[in-house]
Amino acid sequence: MNILEAIALGALQGITEFLPISSSGHLIVARDFFGITIENNLLFDVFLHGATLLSIIVYFRRDIFTIIRNLFVSERSVEGDGEEEVNVLSVPPRRFLFLLVVATVPAVVVGLLIRNLEEVMRTSGVVATSLIIGGIIIFLAEKFEIKRESKSKLTLKSSVIIGCFQVLSLIPGMSRSGMAISGGFLSGLSREHAIRFSFLLALPVIGGLVFLGFIDILRLGVGEIDLPAFISGAIAAFAVGIFVIHFLIHFLERNTFTVFIIYRMFLAVLIFAFLF
């Protein structure tokens, strides 16, 4: 892998990590289609995930600061101080942090149980099938969201539902953001809050992936790595990730997921046509 290939893969990670089209699926297909071989593939993935994690932290720094600032302050004293924006998704910061953990647990538990199956699932065939199934789920969830009166407040029930839907994203091609937002729609969350929560939910999920990746690296050893290529890919993933987060939040406030669903189906057809 040269620097240009690393930048291309980094940009692809930054785009697809947050759009409901699956980052893992695109990276698998891109590597298969273009024949890109990467020494220390695991470490490169950790670099890219770390970069997209940083893009979330930077973009949502105000929300994150609000949560941290008010974790050890009573709700009554915060209200008395007249602070603004002490609530995240219409719940107090401490409550929000608890619900974030609740929504994270299902994917963590299932992910650890099926971790040995990860390589088996990382095939273009699995990705193509998941793109189709995931697209149908997103389509049905959005139809449900359009027809019912949404609520804005994040609840324990909605967190559990979103967490269970996020488990599906462990299959390459399903899309973590797509499944989390679909779970938000089906749990009754408003469109704005379902989208925003899916991004904030990426913090512990991607953070966990980075942590487990580093554990594996320490266990297996890193050997020689192409540091310039790795850093170039990470920078591309971070920069593109910031842009995509901003774009997606504003785009989905005014538009449906139709364009992403059509893209998923079209890509699945191309994969079946050219990689089999």
- Nearest CA-CA partner of 173 in 122, 248, 207, 112: 122
Res 168: pLDDT = 93
Residue 186 has pLDDT above 80, yes or no: yes
Query: Does an H or E element contain 61, and which?
Result: helix 61-70
Percent of the chain with pLDDT over 70: 85
> Between residues 174 and 45, which one has the greater pLDDT?
174
Q: How confident is the model at residue 124 (pLDDT cuts 50, 70, 90)?
A: confident
Res 276: pLDDT = 63
Domain span at 108: 3-274
> Between residues 167 and 120, which one has the greater pLDDT?
167
Mean of per-residue pLDDT scores for the chain: 83
Res 159: pLDDT = 94
Residue 226 has pLDDT above 70, yes or no: yes
Residue 88 has pLDDT above 70, yes or no: no
128-138: per-residue pLDDT in tens?
Answer: 999 999 999 99
- If one counts the domains in the chain, the total is 1
**SS3 call for 88:** strand
Res 25: pLDDT = 80
What residues contact residue 152 under an 8 Å CB cut-off, 6+ apart?
Answer: 89, 90, 189, 190, 192, 193
**SS3 call for 91:** strand
26-75: per-residue pLDDT in tens?
Answer: 887 887 777 777 666 667 878 888 899 999 999 999 888 888 877 766 55
Gap between the Cα atoms of 106 and 82, Å rounded: 37
97-120: per-residue pLDDT in tens?
Answer: 899 999 999 988 998 888 777 667
Gap between the Cα atoms of 266 and 263, Å rounded: 5
Residue 1 has pLDDT above 80, yes or no: no
> Between residues 213 and 263, which one has the greater pLDDT?
263
- Nearest CA-CA partner of 45 in 30, 66, 67: 30
Query: DSSP string covering 197-214, please?
Result: HHHHHHHHHHHHHHHHHH
The string over 72-89, giving b where at least 16 C-beta atoms fall within 10 Å of a residue's C-beta and e elsewhere, is eeeeeebeeeeeeebbbb
**pTM of the model as a whole:** 0.84
Residue 274 has pLDDT above 90, yes or no: no
